[in-house]
Structure 1
C-alpha cells in the first residue's frame, strides 16, 4: 500500500510538471500603458523625510507607504543644475555624454552665450520668442527613453510638460512633444520644432485662461502656525527687498486685471504646479494617453519648488508649506489617474533634478562656515596672477558652467604653452579659500587624478567639446551670486546630489524602502526594462536594485 501511494504521488507530480511545461512560464505583468514621470524641481530628499509626518495619505505617501523608494539616491555629476539634471533622468547619461553641461554656457571658441535648449530655428507657437529662449532639444547629444520607445513603436506618445522650457524639452527628447508655461501670458505653448500649430485640446485649455483664476488669490499656509516649528519663520532679513511671508497675494492689489508680472509671479507659488497638473490632465484626455497597448510617457516637471527655494531657501516656512501644498496637488492628481487611466495601467515615478544648499545665513546661524562670493572678482584675481607670471593680460577669458575658459588665441599669440597656463590657473583656483577642487582639461581627459576629491563627479560633468579648460568646485555651503537668490544649487555636495527616487505601480513594483546607494542614471534602464525596450544607447546606469516585478 505504501509503495502504491508513492507511485501515485510520483504520477501526480509528473502530470503536474507536464501540464506546467505545456502552459509555459507564469505570465508576467503586462507593460504599463502609461509611465507618469514626475519631477519636483529643486527638491532635496531631506525635505521629504523631514516632513513625512505631515504628508497627506495619498500624495507623496503613496510612494513611501505603498510603493518603492530609494533612501540614498544621488546624482553622480558635479554641476547639479536644472538642465543637466533633466537631461540625465531619461537618457541615463551624465553631462559628459549628453552635452547639457549647465543651464547655459559659453562657446569656448567664440564666447557666445549658449542656452541649453536654445535653437534659433524654432519659435514658440503664438508667443514672442527671444534669442536665447528654449525651443528644442537641438543641443542634447543623446537619445532619451522616449526616443527609444517611439523608435520601437511610433504609436507611443511622449509628452513633456513644465513651468520651464528645459523641464519640458529635455525629458521629452527629440521624438516627443514639449509644452511649457509662458510667463508672459499664463498659457502653455509648444514650438515649431514639434508642430506648426497646437492641437485643439491645447487651444481649448488656453482659451479657458486657467491662470487668471489665481489673480488676487492668497497662498495661505495649510497647517496651523505651530506645525511649522521645524522650518525658518517668515520675514527673515536675508530674504532681501522682496521679503517673504504667508499668506501671500498673487498679483499687485492695485492691478485691475492679470498682467505679465502676475503670470510670472505664479512661478514662485504652488499655483504654477496646479496649472501644470491641470494641463497634464488635459494632455491625458486630449492625446488619449494610456488607452492602448502602445505604452506612452507623460513627463511633468513641477517648477514651483525651485523658484521658492531660490527666493527663500529650502529651510524656510514658505518652502515647507510649498511642499505640503504640492503633496496635496499630487494626491488629487493620483486619484484622477486612478479613475481615468486606471490604477493598474500606469506606473508613477518621482524624482528631482537637483537638491538645494541651505541659505548661507541659515548655515552661519548654525555655526558653520558659509557665505557668498563673487565669480567676477575670482576671475579678476586669477587673471592678475597669470599676467604677473606670463606677462599677458586676461589669459582667462571667462567662466562657463563651473569652468574657467582660457583664451587660446592669446596664448598662441604669446607663444605660451597651453597646458602650462592651465596648470597655473588650476593652482591659483585651488589657492582660493572658497574653492574645494579644480582640474585641468588634460587631467579630465586622461583621468589622471582618479580618486582625488570630486574628480569622478567632475569628469561626469565635463564634456570635451562643450566645457571649459579648468573645472572647479566650491567648498560646501558657499555659493556665487546673484544676490537675487537667497540659496542655490550646483555642487557635488550631498545637499545638492541627494534627491528622491520614488516609484509606484502595484503590478510592477514591490513595496519597500531600499537603502543601497543608487544614482539617477539608473532610472532610464529600469523603465526600459519594464517597458520591454532597449535602454537608451548612451545610458550608463543599471537597473535599480529591486525585484520590481511583483510575484
Structure 2
C-alpha cells in the first residue's frame, strides 16, 4: 500500500472516529476536526519516516502494551527480597526480561502525580505542568489539585471540588495519545487505586477508571463518557470489594523470613500502631462502608481488586485481540499507602511487596491465556521511590529529622514582616515551594524579587534545608551548576510552580506521614524499570544510568510511532 493511500485510509478512520466521538464540552467544533485530520495526516508521514530508520513495521508491533506501576516502590526493595520471589512474578522481568539497575527520575520533587505524568509523556514536570499532587494558584493562593476539573464529575458518585476528574492540567501528550491520534481504533485504558494514577497515564485521549474509597467500586468521569459500559456495571454489581470484610491480611511467609525488616509496632507509628495480621474493617462495623473500603487501600486487597478490574477490562474491551495495538495501564497504589504508614523498611512493606509479587504471577498467567505470550509487552516501573524514616537514619548514626512546614513558613514570614512591614508575604505550597502573596505585594507596593530573595535567605537558615532558588534564578538560569539546580529546574514550571523552590537535606522530611518521599536523593529517584515481551525484549541486566523519561520513546519505537511531542528521553538501551 503506497504512502498516499495509507494517509487516506488513516484520515478516513479519523473522520469516522470523530463522527462517533462523544462530546467533550466544546471540543467537537469544526476547527478541532480540521486539526485532527491534519494531525492524523502528519502522524502518518512521521510513521513512514520512522519505518525508514529502523522502527518495526506495523505488523511486528505488540498487540498490547501492559504498563504496570507500583506506587512508591524503590529499586532497592526489588533486589532486597529477590530470594523470596515467586518464579514468575517480578522474577519474570529479572530472569527472563530486561531490567535497569540504575534507572532514575531527574526531577527534584518526586511525588505520585509528577511521576505518573512523566512516565508515558517522556517529559519532566517543567514540560508536563504536573509539578506536584497539589499546588497553589499563583494569583489567588487557592489550592489546585493536579487532576482537578470542576467541569466534570464522577459517574455514580459524589464529586468534591478538588477531586480528580480530568487531565486538563496535563500540558503534554502521552504515548497513548500519539497512538490514538494515529489510529482512533486503538484503545487506551488506565486503572488505579488513585485518580491521578489513572488519569495521567490515560492522557487526553485514553479512558481512566479509578477505585472509589466511598463504595469499593471503580468509576470513570464525565470527561470520558456519560455512563459506564456494561462490563464495568457488571463488575461493580458483583461488589467484589466486600469479600475481604472482617478478613485478615496475614503474613505470606514464616516469621523468620522477615528478619531483614523492621519489626511491627515501631514507636514512631503512633497510637494506631501497625502489625500483622491486620483485620479489614473494625469490630464495630456491621457491614462494609467507606471506612472499610478506604482501608483496603492500605493493604494488598485493593491492588488485587485493581488487577481483577484489569482482567475485566481486557475481556470487556477486547484488548490485544486485533491488529491495532492497545495500551493497558495499571497503577497499583497500595504500596505507597503501606510505606507512608509504616516505611519501606517495615515488615508490613516487605510482606506487601511479596504479596504483589504473587499477584503479578497470577496476572501474567492470565495474560498469557487471554492475550498470548507472543502478543504483549509488559513494563513495570514506579512513580517514585521512598525514603527511610528519619528514625531509621538516626538508628544508623546518620542525620535526619521531621520538619513542620507551617512552623518554618511562619518563621520566614516573621523575618519578611520585620524587613518589609507586611505579613504574610509568602504561603507554603505543597510542592516544596513558597508562593509570594501577590495581592499583598501590590497593596504595599513591594518589589517581588526583593521579597522572594529575602524569603530564600530566611528559608536557608532553617535546619534541614539543603538548597533553595527563586523564580528569577530559575527563569534566568543564573545559578546553573549550583547544588540541585538542574533537578529543581526540571521540577519547576513557570506557570504553575512556586516562587522559591527548595530541597531538604538527606534524612529530613516535612510531612504528617510516618515516612514519605519527594526528594532528589537516590532513595526517592532510583526506581525499577523492567521490560518483558519476547520477541521485542531480550533478557539481560543493564547497569548504565537511564531515566524514566526514556520509557515513552522506547514504547513509541516498539509501536512504530514517533515519540510524544514533549518527550525529552531517548530509547532505552535494551539488550
Note if 1:128 corresponds to 2:158. Answer: yes
| Count of aligned residue pairs for this structure pair | 521
Alignment counterpart, residue 109 of structure 1, candidates 139, 144, 148: 139
Do the aligned partners of residues 438 and 26 (structure 1) sit closer, same or farther apart at CA in structure 2, a change above 3 Å counting?
Answer: closer
1:61-460 alignment runs, 5 A limit: 61-460=91-490
CA offsets per residue over residues 461-488 of structure 1, 9 Å max, x none? Answer: 1000011111001111111131xx1100
Q: Name the CA distance, whole Å, in 1 between partners of 2:407 and 2:558.
A: 50
CA offsets per residue over residues 100-154 of structure 1, 9 Å max, x none? Answer: 1111111010111111111111111111111111111111111111000000000
CA offsets per residue over residues 142-191 of structure 1, 9 Å max, x none? Answer: 11110000000001000000000000000001100000001011110101
SS at match of 2:293: helix
Q: Aligned-pair RMSD on alpha carbons? A: 1.3
Q: Name the CA distance, whole Å, in 1 between partners of 2:440 and 2:312.
A: 55
CA offsets per residue over residues 266-300 of structure 1, 9 Å max, x none? Answer: 00000000000000000000000000111000000
Q: Name the CA distance, whole Å, in 2 between partners of 1:443 and 1:54.
A: 48
Deviates most, 93-102 or 401-410: 401-410
Do the aligned partners of residues 371 and 156 (structure 1) sit closer, same or farther apart at CA in structure 2, a change above 3 Å counting?
Answer: same
Structure 1 gap segments, 5+ residues each: 1-24
SS at match of 2:257: helix
Cα distance, 1:417 vs structure 2: 2.1
Deviates most, 508-517 or 401-410: 401-410
Q: Name the CA distance, whole Å, in 2 between partners of 1:61 and 1:45.
A: 14
Which residue of structure 1 aligns with residue 564 of structure 2? 536
SS at match of 1:342: coil
Alignment counterpart, residue 522 of structure 2, candidates 482, 487, 494: 494
Cα distance, 1:400 vs structure 2: 4.2
CA offsets per residue over residues 460-516 of structure 1, 9 Å max, x none? Answer: 11000011111001111111131xx11001111111111000000011011100000
Do the aligned partners of residues 393 and 256 (structure 1) sit closer, same or farther apart at CA in structure 2, a change above 3 Å counting?
Answer: closer
Q: Name the CA distance, whole Å, in 1 between partners of 2:86 and 2:427.
A: 51
Do the aligned partners of residues 461 and 507 (structure 1) sit closer, same or farther apart at CA in structure 2, a change above 3 Å counting?
Answer: same
SS at match of 1:273: helix
How high is the TM-score relative to the length of structure 2?
0.89
8 Å Cα contact 1:400-1:467 kept in structure 2: no
Alignment counterpart, residue 507 of structure 1, candidates 519, 535, 539: 535
Note if 1:522 corresponds to 2:550. Answer: yes
Larger Rg: 1
8 Å Cα contact 2:280-2:295 kept in structure 1: yes
Which residue of structure 1 aligns with residue 79 of structure 2? 49
Cα distance, 1:392 vs structure 2: 2.2
SS at match of 2:480: coil
8 Å Cα contact 2:97-2:532 kept in structure 1: yes
Structure 2 gap segments, 5+ residues each: 1-53
Do the aligned partners of residues 277 and 26 (structure 1) sit closer, same or farther apart at CA in structure 2, a change above 3 Å counting?
Answer: closer
Cα distance, 1:42 vs structure 2: 0.3
SS at match of 2:460: helix
How high is the TM-score relative to the length of structure 1?
0.93
SS at match of 2:209: strand
Q: Name the CA distance, whole Å, in 1 between partners of 2:209 and 2:83.
A: 34
